[in-house]
Amino acid sequence: MADSILDRFALTDGVAVVTGAGRGIGEGIAIGLAEAGCDVVLTARRENEINAVADKVRALGRRALAIPGDITDGEFVESLAKQAKDEMGKVTLWVSNAGGADDRTPRHLADMPDRQWDYQMDLNLRAVFTGARAAAAVLEEGGSIINISSGAALKPSPNNGPYAVAKAGVDSLTRTMSSELASRGIRVNGVAPGPVPTEVFMEFFGASEEDIPGLGKKLGIPLGRLGRPEDVANAVVYLASDAASWVTGQTLLVNGGNR
């Protein structure tokens, strides 16, 4: 009997590497992948956080490996890919989720210090490139790379310019690598979330937990609410699954209709 459509969304016995997996969207992606059947390798700087997420993955009956490190360090990223394959037996999916800013101070591009520009390029673009390169070295035919972009890449982003520029670069990288890796049977796609109340988002907008219910309408999101980590996880599961086996080079907007 042929697989049902629901079977095609399953990720049974896959092994995913998720960067920035200790909290927020990264944690949501890791949990969503585990619920879909994946074992998960988690990385982030804060060891206590990825250990906590690893425990949640194991509670779902999947294997988990927590490897702390700095994904802006290319040597670490290469060793992460090798360790993931060696200890888990294979890697079928790489999700480059880590990103953000360091001081989270709104600035116009004309006032942007070189250090802030360089930091955001390293974290939000270069780390995605080195992650995709490391993933390409360990993925086999049928593997998938998913880069987490942002809706900010598609429109003017006052006071947040370097982040938007870097994410636009991620979208271009996704398209180019999808073409270059297609002959090897490796798909490369992206997910571009709209506003999700992560720690970085809350600090950037000076918002509190009490503000969250009303922020969606205040920001003009047609569906009236902010995003949730599971909204992004749902898109990642789809793009990683056989249901998306004829989809590559695409960046899927998950933003409540925000423009």
Q: What is the mean pLDDT of residues 41-60?
A: 98
**From 9, 76, 94, 163, active-site residue:** 163
Q: Is residue 259 part of a domain?
A: no
Give the separation between CA 247 and CA 108, rounded to whole angstroms. Answer: 36
Q: Is residue 2 part of a domain?
A: no
Number of domains in the chain: 1
Residues in the chain, how many? 259
Domain residues for the domain of 93 are 7-251
Instruction: Name 125's Cβ contacts closer than 8 Å, sequence gap at least 6.
Output: 166, 167, 169, 170, 173
Give the separation between CA 135 and CA 112, rounded to whole angstroms. Answer: 32
Judge whether 163 counts as a catalytic residue. yes
Has residue 236 got a pLDDT over 90? yes
Give the separation between CA 44 and CA 49, rounded to whole angstroms. Answer: 8
Point out which residues pair with 212 in neighbouring strands: none
Query: Over the stretch 137-195, which tens digit does the pLDDT of each residue have?
Result: 999 999 999 999 999 999 999 998 999 999 999 999 999 999 999 999 999 999 999 99
- CB-based contact 123:72 (threshold 8 Å): yes
Amino acid at 172: S
Query: Over the stretch 115-136, which tens digit does the pLDDT of each residue have?
Result: 999 999 999 999 999 999 999 9
Has residue 10 got a pLDDT over 60? yes
Q: Is residue 257 part of a domain?
A: no
Has residue 205 got a pLDDT over 80? no
Question: What percentage of the chain has pLDDT greater than the value 90?
Answer: 85
Is 206 buried (19+), middle (13-18) or exposed (0-12) by CB count in 10 A? Answer: exposed
Q: Is residue 47 part of a domain?
A: yes
Classify residue 45 by its DSSP letter: S
Whose CA is closest to 251, among 146, 126, 118? 146
Has residue 40 got a pLDDT over 90? yes
Has residue 1 got a pLDDT over 60? no
Q: What is the mean pLDDT of residues 33-47?
A: 98
Query: What's the token pair of residue 213?
Result: 């219910």
> What is residue 2's predicted lDDT score, i.e. its pLDDT?
58
Has residue 258 got a pLDDT over 70? yes
Q: What is the mean pLDDT of residues 91-104?
A: 90
Q: What is the mean pLDDT of residues 242-258?
A: 96
Q: Is residue 209 part of a domain?
A: yes
Q: Is residue 112 part of a domain?
A: yes
CA distances, 52 to each of 35, 49, 184, 238 (Å): 16, 5, 35, 25
DSSP E strands in 63-160: the ranges are 64-66, 93-96, 144-148
Query: What's the token pair of residue 19?
Result: 């960067």
Q: At what angle do helices 114-121 and 161-181 cross, to 10 degrees?
A: 30
Q: Is residue 12 part of a domain?
A: yes
The residue ranking higher by pLDDT, 138 or 200, is: 138
> What is residue 209's predicted lDDT score, i.e. its pLDDT?
84
Q: Is residue 68 part of a domain?
A: yes
CATH code, domain with 116: 3.40.50.720
Backbone angles phi, psi at 61, to 5 degrees: 90, 15
